[in-house]
């Protein structure tokens, strides 16, 4: 068992509780979930799949968008996240399946889903395998809607730069760790290609039999206070390296003290809408 001050993973109760609490106290996941649900065209859906659904932030938005008689199936590999979700989100239309996204097709009927939604998690998966699974699940004409963090996609919304009034909280965390703990940040090539650019996504979707309908770079606006709360979730805490979680929280508090709580913070996303063709 991991010690209490370890950085806990997605299948640890402490992290699942902290993550769910964040989604309820702050608008980021609710806003992105509602954006994806809107793009999925769920008004006439009978079945929607919440892929990598976690504790249910996206499921809440999907349930609000589908007809009263429709169903949602949430697929996630972390039982701890689903345990929290069962306690905090109860709806007879929602069913949960514990399985990796790559194996979703093993647990769901072929060609039945009107839409598959994946919020804030696709880059953590084997995307080629996930896209193939999604293509198997979707009905002809069904939509697959997901987002990719700007850093992974290699995109930046203009707002990310225009509203910045000083160093990012991540930059201040690194500076604090270097100054107070002798931290040596890992060297990364400034010209390293993004891990999941649109070109790669489009190619992998095409091989799976899915076509891109829309790709848009969006901006999620928040504050330094919300960013601090997000970085307090154990799995997101920084910096990486040989630190206890308690040390990371002390570094975070020191760095945050150098900011203004209501100072704007912007996160870029690449939002992709794909579709299984109506005919082969």
pLDDT tens readout for residues 182-198: 999 987 655 688 999 99
Instruction: Tell me how far the alpha carbon of residue 191 is from its chain's centroid.
Output: 25
pTM: 0.93
pLDDT for residue 279 is more than 90: no
Q: Is the pLDDT of residue 241 over 50?
A: yes
Q: What is the mean pLDDT of residues 155-176?
A: 89
Does some domain include residue 28?
yes
Q: Retrieve residue 2's tokens.
A: 């991991």
In a domain? residue 246? no
Q: Cα–Cα distances in Å, from 162 out to 45, 87, 150, 226, 260?
A: 39, 41, 16, 19, 17
Report if residue 183 sits inside a domain: no
Asked if residue 165 belongs to a domain, the reply is no
Specify the number of domains making up the chain: 1
DSSP code at position 78? -
Name residues whose C-beta falls within 8 Å of residue 86's C-beta, 6 or more positions apart in sequence.
96
**For residue 126, what are the domain limits?**
13-156+190-221+268-275
Domain assignment present for residue 59? The answer is yes
Residue 226: inside a domain, yes or no? Answer: no
Mean pLDDT of 219-224: 93
Please give the radius of gyration of the chain, using alpha carbons only, rounded to the nearest integer. 19
> Residue 280: what pLDDT?
56
Q: For the residues 142-164, what does the mean pLDDT come to? A: 92
Question: Does 75 reside within a domain?
Answer: yes
Q: Is pLDDT of 3 > 50?
A: no
Whether the Cβ atoms of residue 146 and residue 119 lie closer than 8 Å to each other:
yes
- Residue 94 is assigned to a structural domain of this protein: yes
Res 189: pLDDT: 56
Q: Please give the structure tokens belonging to residue 31.
A: 């806003």
Q: At 226, is the pLDDT very low, low, confident or very high (cuts 50, 70, 90)?
A: very high
**239 CB-near residues (< 8 Å, 6+ apart):** 173, 174, 177, 183, 185, 248, 251
How many whole angstroms from its chain centre is CA 2?
A: 24
Q: Determine the pLDDT at residue 9.
A: 85
pLDDT at residue 1 greater than cutoff 50: no
**168: closest CA among 268, 262, 255?**
255
Is the model's pLDDT at 244 over the cut of 70?
Answer: yes
Over residues 234-256, the mean pLDDT reads 94
Confidence check: pLDDT of 129 > 90: yes
Query: Can you give the CATH number for the domain in which 127 is found?
Result: 3.40.50.150
pLDDT, tens digit, for every residue of 10-59? 999 999 999 999 999 999 999 999 999 999 999 999 999 999 999 999 99
For residue 106 the two structure tokens come to 């093993």
Q: What pLDDT is attached to residue 191? A: 67
Question: Is the separation of the CB atoms in 139 and 279 below 8 Å?
Answer: no
Backbone phi, then psi, for 108, in 5-degree steps? -125, 150
| Averaged pLDDT for residues 85-113 | 96
CB 212 within 8 A of CB 202: yes
């Amino acid at each position: 068992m991991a010690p209490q001050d370890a950085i806990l993973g997605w299948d640890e109760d402490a992290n699942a509780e902290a993550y769910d609490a964040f989604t309820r106290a702050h608008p980021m996941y609710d806003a992105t979930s509602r954006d994806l649900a809107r793009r999925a065209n769920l008004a006439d859906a009978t079945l929607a799949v919440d892929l990598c659904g976690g504790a249910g932030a996206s499921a809440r938005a999907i349930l609000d968008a589908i007809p009263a008689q429709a169903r949602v199936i949430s697929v996630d590999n972390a039982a701890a996240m689903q345990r929290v979700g069962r306690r905090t989100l109860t709806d007879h239309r929602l069913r949960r399946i514990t399985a990796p996204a790559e194996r979703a097709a093993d647990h769901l009927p072929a060609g039945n889903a009107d839409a598959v939604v994946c919020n804030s998690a696709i880059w953590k998966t084997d995307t080629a395998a996930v896209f193939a699974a999604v293509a198997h699940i979707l009905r002809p004409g069904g939509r697959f809607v997901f987002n990719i963090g700007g850093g992974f996609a290699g995109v930046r919304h203009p707002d990310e730069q225009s509203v910045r009034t000083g160093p990012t909280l991540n930059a201040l965390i690194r500076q604090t760790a270097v100054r107070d703990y002798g931290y040596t940040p890992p060297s990364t090539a400034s010209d390293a290609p993004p891990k999941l650019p649109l070109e790669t996504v489009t190619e992998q979707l095409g091989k799976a039999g899915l076509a891109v309908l829309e790709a848009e770079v969006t901006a999620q606006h928040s504050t330094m206070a919300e960013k601090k709360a997000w970085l307090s979730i154990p799995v997101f805490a920084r910096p990486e390296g040989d630190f206890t979680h308690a040390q990371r929280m002390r570094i975070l508090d020191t760095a945050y003290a150098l900011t203004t709580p209501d100072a704007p913070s912007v996160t870029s996303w690449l939002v992709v809408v794909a579709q299984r063709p109506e005919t082969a």
